[in-house]
Amino acid sequence: MKVKVIGGGFAGCEACYQLLKRGADVTLAEMKPLKHSPAHKLDTLCEVVCSNSFKSDDPATSSGLLKAEMRLLDSLTLRIAEQNKVPAGNALAVDRYAFSQKMTQTLEAYPNFHRVTEVTSSLDTNDYDFVIVATGPLTDEALIPVFNELFGSKFLYFFDAVAPIVTAESIDMDSAFVASRYGKGDADYINCPMNREQYLAFYDSLVSAETVELKDFENNVFEGCMPIEVMAKRGTDTMRFGPLKPVGLRDARTNEKPYAVLQLRKENVEGTMYNLVGFQTNLKYGEQKKVFGMIPALRNAEFVRYGVMHRNTYINAPKFLNSFFQLKSNPKLFFAGQLTGVEGYMESAVSGLVASIEAWRIFGGMEPLVFPTDTLTGALCKHVSCDFGDFSPMNSSFGILDPLSEKIRDKSQRKVAYADRAINSMLNTVKNL
């Protein structure tokens, strides 16, 4: 079996390892050291470009649970991270240089591994059984025309500006009401009203909150998608004529018209997650929790994803990929990593793991391995393949898992239940590997 992997980041390196250990002949096409993206500095593989923290290692957290699943799947990324960790409390953090060097050395030790330095400009599969594309959120411009031809420009997003997402069960429904504007539709929105005093307090906090500093190559990117904090600075009432406009909305319980109202829209079919409509933001994560928590209905909100604004090339995956990260129109092509709409180091690695395992099984005449959606691995597979409204990148979170069969009110106990179920489910799944 001959496979070409394009991109030596987390997804690409994990895909290489999973194939190499199974005996496949793997060619990794990586443009470093010939060329570096604006964010990359090292010549070695699997470079940690942002924070050196891979988040919590506690299985009662979503990031810790994903790691627990990856251990069962023999993830090289996780193993090398643990070998090169630095003290970080309950989080798994690494020495970024040692981690990258060890990943590179481990892959290069395989005799069936071939690294070629090239700026890839084609997805030709003629010389390979499969090609796995893992070029990341800063995919080089040489591949953009190929992607445009494959996906159409309207299905390729060059800059990521997304609003936060909260869990449905954390919304205070005593401070919210369900309705559609002017009574049209099926009352699809949860409305979070504010009176004048609450709105002005929220406004004052928002305009003074700290924002994330954009990198040089990200400047002047978001003119077409205004952050809510920028909108607020244009005037006290600007938001009330935009995403917080109260017109056409009344709380049927009180028959009162709010002074301002934030609408929440379903983020998935099950209705376990809701998007803060129009709240694209560049606020720091801690500031988002503090400021948005001033809206009464969100005072105890659990954030599945915080709002982000950064350069991020990704495809509208559900239009084109199946749950195995395989291109529907060309089964010889797989995609992996942040290019597919998964966010985060470990999430990228697990997507490369899944894509490579599926390619290996297909080549061997086996049925694809279906990862259950009560595991985070399976839930991420579902995220990139289930077409439900607007698609945006997603980290692992308990909110993307199948709901529990019983309602558990205590948050810590609920997380443990999710984790126990997922680990048992993954143990049953790996028996089929």
Residue ranges and CATH numbers for the domains of the chain are 2-160+311-430 (3.50.50.60), 165-306 (2.40.30.260)
What H or E segment, with its residue span, contains residue 378? helix 376-383
**Spatial distance between the Cα atoms of 15 and 26, rounded to a whole number of angstroms:** 10
Cα 84–Cα 89–Cα 90 angle in degrees, nearest 5: 90
For position 71, what pLDDT does the model report? 97
What H or E segment, with its residue span, contains residue 286? helix 285-292
Q: Digits of tens for pLDDT over the chain (433 positions)?
A: 999 999 999 999 999 999 999 999 999 999 999 988 777 788 999 998 876 789 889 999 999 999 999 999 999 999 999 999 887 777 898 888 899 999 999 999 999 999 999 999 999 999 999 999 999 888 888 998 999 899 986 666 655 567 898 999 999 999 999 987 776 655 678 999 999 999 999 999 999 999 887 665 455 444 446 789 989 999 999 999 989 999 988 887 888 889 999 999 887 767 888 889 889 888 999 999 999 999 999 999 999 888 877 667 889 999 999 999 999 999 999 999 999 999 889 999 999 999 999 999 999 999 999 999 999 999 999 999 998 777 888 889 999 999 999 989 898 999 999 999 999 999 999 998 8
Q: Going edge to edge, which strands form the sheet with 53-56? A: 53-56, 91-94, 85-86
Pairing of strands 333-335, 308-315: unpaired
The conformation of residue 266, written as its DSSP 8-state character, comes to E
Q: Who's near 9: CB < 8 A, 6+ residues apart?
A: 45, 46, 47, 134, 136, 337, 348
**Spatial distance between the Cα atoms of 124 and 5, rounded to a whole number of angstroms:** 12
If you count them, how many residues does the chain have?
A: 433
For position 177, what pLDDT does the model report? 93
Say if CB 356 and CB 433 are below 8 A apart.
no
Residue type, 19: L
For position 221, what pLDDT does the model report? 43
For position 184, what pLDDT does the model report? 63
3-state secondary structure of 282: coil
**Spatial distance between the Cα atoms of 315 and 27, rounded to a whole number of angstroms:** 24
Buried b (16+ CB within 10 A) or exposed e, 267-288: bbeeebbbbbebbbbbbbeebb
**Spatial distance between the Cα atoms of 146 and 425, rounded to a whole number of angstroms:** 39
The conformation of residue 409, written as its DSSP 8-state character, comes to -
For position 15, what pLDDT does the model report? 98
Nearest to 391 by CA among 319, 303, 286: 319
Residue type, 145: P
The conformation of residue 22, written as its DSSP 8-state character, comes to T
Say if CB 128 and CB 38 are below 8 A apart.
no
